[in-house]
């Protein structure tokens, strides 16, 4: 059942992604039109004590995280035999960046995992919930084990 021409799969390197990719392959006309997307959320800590904040250059850490994510995405691409360059690493708010990417690249469907365990999170995690609300394309939320 191939419903979509262009699909993205939101990848969290800390979570098993095989089910997400398999769902995307099942709903996409050509698996070469599936793009794996990972968003690096840049965290900043605010001082809570009356001491002067310590300025840390995070560029090296960000570079290492990006390199690690890129290797993970390339491994998934190879494992699932997707197009070699079918990945994108973004930076910012995960839900917003996924929605922006989908809009800018005429994506018809987003496949995303959910593993929330409390409140609305029992049904949808905060990221998947954020992607669904205000998204201009279909979103398939896959319950992660």
Instruction: Report all structural domains of the chain as residue ranges with CATH numbers, in order of start.
Output: 7-43+56-143 (3.40.50.620)
For residue 96, the cross-strand partners are: none
- Secondary structure of residue 138 in the 3-state scheme: strand
C-alpha to C-alpha distance for 76 and 22, rounded to whole angstroms: 11
pLDDT (tens, 9 = 90+) of the chain, 145 residues, equals 579 999 999 999 888 899 999 999 999 999 999 999 999 987 665 556 666 666 677 788 888 989 999 999 999 999 999 998 999 999 999 999 999 999 999 999 999 998 765 555 555 558 888 899 989 999 999 988 7
* Rounded distance between C-alpha atoms, residue 143 and residue 122, angstroms: 10
- The pLDDT score that the predictor gives to residue 19 is 94
CA-atom Rg of the chain in angstroms: 16
pLDDT at 115: 74
Residue 13 confidence (pLDDT): 86
- The residue written with tokens 């995960």 in the block is 94
3-state secondary structure of 144: coil
- The rounded distance, in Å, linking the Cα atoms of 89 and 39 is 6
Q: What whole-number distance in Å separates Cα of residue 75 and Cα of residue 13?
A: 11
Biggest distance spanned by C-alpha atoms of the chain: 59
- Euclidean distance between CA atoms 135 and 110, whole angstroms: 9
pLDDT of residue 41: 84
CA separation for the pair 25, 33 (Å, rounded): 9
How many CB atoms are located within 10 Å of the residue 141 CB?
Answer: 19
Q: What is the pLDDT of residue 104?
A: 97
């Amino acid at each position: 059942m191939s419903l979509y021409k262009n699909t993205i799969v939101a990848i969290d390197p800390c979570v098993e992604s095989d089910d997400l990719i398999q769902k995307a392959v099942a709903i996409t006309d050509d698996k070469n039109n599936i793009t794996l997307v990972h968003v690096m959320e840049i965290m900043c800590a605010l001082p809570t004590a009356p001491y002067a904040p310590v300025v840390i250059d995070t560029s090296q850490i960000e570079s290492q995280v990006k390199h690690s994510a890129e290797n993970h995405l390339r491994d998934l691409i190879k494992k699932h035999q997707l197009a070699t360059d079918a990945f994108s690493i973004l930076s910012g708010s995960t839900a917003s960046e996924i929605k922006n990417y989908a809009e800018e690249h005429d994506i018809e469907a987003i496949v995303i995992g959910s593993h929330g365990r409390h409140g609305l999170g029992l049904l949808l995690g905060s990221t998947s919930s954020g992607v669904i609300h205000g998204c201009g394309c279909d979103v398939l939320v896959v319950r992660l084990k």
